[in-house]
A and B are shown apart, each in its own frame.
Chain A
């Protein structure tokens, strides 16, 4: 589907076991750069597990065994010499519930840049402003950067979390059901924001809302029981899926 130079992340023969449970089975797939790819499938299909393999979040879980190859711009991210902190700077992640720290709006974004060595205010200020601008939050918060982030609405908090990821200068942004705690208006706002983000970053989103995948992604991967059943251009997956199991899922007759 893509030429080599369009591929940001490439997975070959990935198997993942949680103890005796074979959670991902022989996954081979490529994620194109500067595009939004959605991972869909019923609960327990492995979509979040697959997402978490991309920045080695599964390393934190006990009894996990991962086999196969994941490369970022051709470099093996599971190679022994990989600095995982640096990897997670290149591949940032946003979670289901917005994780706003009980700090000021400014600090919520600035702390991410500090972790990666930016310490003086003169360098931090433009990073904070630019990150908040890119998520469309700047105009709403610029006059109260010192107030607590916890006073923001949930939708704004999620935008803030995306701004925090942007502040680290990532190449890939992973979104794990980023809208499941949000109201419909905030959801549509995040989806529009994803369209802005894909111009600069590679965006991969796990969503349990297939309508969201349909609306807001360029490519869709449908997973079932730890396997990829179908991978295609989103418009095709939702108008004429090739596999009958995909058809059942997108028409609401499965899962």
Chain B
């Protein structure tokens, strides 16, 4: 028995897989960048940076697949929402990976001497962000919106942590100008992580759209 639209369904499933692969690479990059920072490991930072090429390539591949499917398959309803969301999600994951590259580059700059303070809040921030990315990509595949809502709650924690890190680092700088150099770099890393969380929130909104048909900001 021939099931209608077998080839189109297979292509949609492949699209899911490509997005998932992209998310997995970004997640792995995020872990490596933070290990590189903590261990002052320049080689690992470079390895992280080089992984961005495959994310960029997947982004272009996903975009061109989506354009082709729209042009040739006349997608409607959920199929259309999935394809539209895939374009947006792929763009957001690509931006996430770019920020991770910025973190890895900063880690390289910080690798020349020990940090003026131990890393505490940045690893915490990174753990939450990584968890958010994982939950969102999971939600995309499992169609489980409770994961999206949980991720949105996590984002509140990120904002909170980022604000307290900001205050703390500014305090250090006021008290001891000799730490400004390093403190600014750490502040940048916190900022990159906070931006990554925002892109992940966007992804969650697209997953929400695919499942509900409703386009809206989940985070207010």
Hey, which bits of chain A sit against chain B, CB under 8 A? 136, 139-140, 185, 188-189, 191-193, 195-196, 211, 214-215, 234-235, 238-239
Q: Which of B1, B67, B73 contacts A214 (CB 8 A)?
A: B73
- Chain A CB within 8 A of B118 CB: no
Q: Which of B3, B4, B6, B68 contacts A235 (CB 8 A)?
A: B68
**Which chain B residues border A139 with CB–CB below 8 Å?**
1
A185-B73 in contact (CB<8A): no
Residues from 58 to 91 in B contacting A, C-beta threshold 8 Å = 67-68, 71-74
Q: List 24 A-B contacts (CB under 8 A).
A: A136-B2, A139-B1, A188-B5, A189-B2, A192-B2, A192-B6, A193-B2, A195-B7, A211-B74, A214-B71, A214-B72, A214-B74, A215-B8, A215-B72, A215-B73, A215-B74, A234-B72, A235-B68, A235-B71, A238-B71, A239-B67, A239-B68, A239-B71, A239-B72
B5 nearest in chain A by CB position: A188
A195-B67 in contact (CB<8A): no
A192-B74 in contact (CB<8A): no
Min CB distance B14 to A, Å, is: 15
CA distance A136 to B68 in the complex (A): 28
CA distance A81 to B2 in the complex (A): 41
CA distance A140 to B2 in the complex (A): 11
**Which chain A residues border B68 with CB–CB below 8 Å?**
235, 238-239
CA distance A247 to B73 in the complex (A): 17
B7-A235 in contact (CB<8A): no
Min CB distance A6 to B, Å, is: 21
B64 nearest in chain A by CB position: A239
Contact flags (1/0) for B155-194 with A, using CB distance below 8 Å? 0000000000000000000000000000000000000000
**Which chain A residues border B7 with CB–CB below 8 Å?**
192, 195
B70 nearest in chain A by CB position: A239
**Which chain A residues border B2 with CB–CB below 8 Å?**
136, 189, 192-193, 196
CA distance A136 to B71 in the complex (A): 28
CA distance A133 to B68 in the complex (A): 32
CA distance A44 to B175 in the complex (A): 85
A235-B1 in contact (CB<8A): no
Residues from 1 to 56 in B contacting A, C-beta threshold 8 Å = 1-8
| Besides A140-B1, A189-B4, 19 new A-B residue pairs in contact (Cβ under 8 A), listed by A number | A136-B1, A188-B4, A189-B2, A191-B4, A192-B4, A192-B5, A192-B7, A195-B6, A195-B7, A196-B2, A214-B71, A214-B72, A215-B72, A215-B73, A234-B72, A235-B71, A239-B67, A239-B71, A239-B72
Contact flags (1/0) for B182-220 with A, using CB distance below 8 Å? 000000000000000000000000000000000000000
Min CB distance A201 to B, Å, is: 16
Min CB distance B70 to A, Å, is: 9
**Which chain A residues border B6 with CB–CB below 8 Å?**
192, 195
**Which chain B residues border A235 with CB–CB below 8 Å?**
68, 71-72
**Which chain B residues border A239 with CB–CB below 8 Å?**
67-68, 71-72
B6 nearest in chain A by CB position: A192
